[in-house]
A = this chain, B = another copy of it.
Amino acid sequence: MDPAPRLYELVLENGRSASPFVWRVRYALAHKGLAFESVPLGLTDIPTVLGGRFRTVPILEHGTTAMAESWDIVQYLDRAFPQRPLFSGPAELQMVRLVDTWLLLEVGRRLLPLYLLDVHDAARPEDREYFRRSREAYFGGTSLEALAAGRAAQLPAVRAALEPLRLQLAQAPFLGGTAPNFADYVVLGLFQWIGSVCTLPPLAGDDAVLRGWLERGFALYDGIGQDNRLRPLFE
């Protein structure tokens, strides 16, 4: 029998996990009740493991298999460990992919630049130069400080973009209905990540629908990640 899967994770200076894509895989492992071995990596450590095959985390290693895309990983988990499937079938999987794409384009793309400076400041000191250089290059040379400048004024657009979630969650406790599905884990992962670094709360204090859902989502699986979050998500 293969050993437990090994999850290569990204860690900050304080040892806490920091990647929305790692977080969705941690939720998926917990959903399936799978024990795993965590391998903490700093950003600049990634090329030093598994022969430098991968450039991003999460990386899942299981027996002789290894992969580094969160969507590949969760589909692999459902094949290798059929118990408590993450997806009822291909149509649900495709729908969650569409939700994930929406989240990236409408929410992530607005949110990410506002918090990169916070990620930088929370990263291990030896990772910071690489992080700054690679992210500033991605944004055409704009400094992390300039991306974060006046960010409070941009939060209303982020909050407005989350409106489909509020309408959905006004009708059911989880995005998946009475129980969470992988769409919940995808969005919860984003907030687990933000909550580990943000020095400005992204959400409004009176956002009762999202607050209730985040509390339910963070309480799942014996309070997954409750030691991870350091920062308030609500004003």
Query: Complex Cα distance A92/B5, Å?
Result: 28
Residue A95 at the chain B interface, CB threshold 8 Å: yes
In the complex, the answer to whether A88 meets B94 with C-beta atoms within 8 Å is no
A10-18, A48-56, A177-185 - the one binding chain B: A177-185
Q: How extensive is the interface on chain A, given as a class?
A: 20 to 34
In the complex, the answer to whether B98 meets A183 with C-beta atoms within 8 Å is yes
In the complex, the answer to whether B99 meets A95 with C-beta atoms within 8 Å is yes
In the complex, the answer to whether A177 meets B101 with C-beta atoms within 8 Å is no
**Residues of A at under 8 Å CB distance from B?**
88-99, 101-102, 105-106, 163-165, 167-168, 171-172, 175-179, 181, 183
Chain B, Cβ-Cβ closest to A87? B91
The one of B94, B167, B181 in contact with A91, judged by C-beta atoms closer than 8 angstroms, is: B181
**Chain A to chain B contacts (Cβ below 8 Å), 7 pairs:** A89-B92, A91-B176, A92-B92, A95-B176, A98-B168, A98-B183, A105-B163
In the complex, the answer to whether B101 meets A167 with C-beta atoms within 8 Å is yes
Query: Complex Cα distance A101/B98, Å?
Result: 13
CB distance from A105 to the nearest CB of B (A): 6
Number of copies: 2
Q: Which residues of chain B are near A96, meaning CB under 8 Å?
A: 95
CB distance from A31 to the nearest CB of B (A): 12
Q: Which residues of chain B are near A165, meaning CB under 8 Å?
A: 98
The one of B89, B99, B163, B179 in contact with A99, judged by C-beta atoms closer than 8 angstroms, is: B99
Contact A98:B164 (CB < 8 A) given known A88-B91, A91-B92, A92-B91: yes
Chain B, Cβ-Cβ closest to A174? B94
Query: Complex Cα distance A165/B105, Å?
Result: 11
Interface centre among A91, A172, A179 (most CB of B within 10 A): A91
Query: Complex Cα distance A32/B88, Å?
Result: 20
In the complex, the answer to whether A94 meets B176 with C-beta atoms within 8 Å is yes
CB distance from A217 to the nearest CB of B (A): 15
Chain B, Cβ-Cβ closest to A168? B98
Contact A164:B105 (CB < 8 A) given known A88-B88, A89-B88: yes
Query: Complex Cα distance A91/B88, Å?
Result: 8
Q: Which residues of chain B are near A172, meaning CB under 8 Å?
A: 94
Query: Complex Cα distance A64/B99, Å?
Result: 38
Q: Which residues of chain B are near A181, meaning CB under 8 Å?
A: 91, 94-95
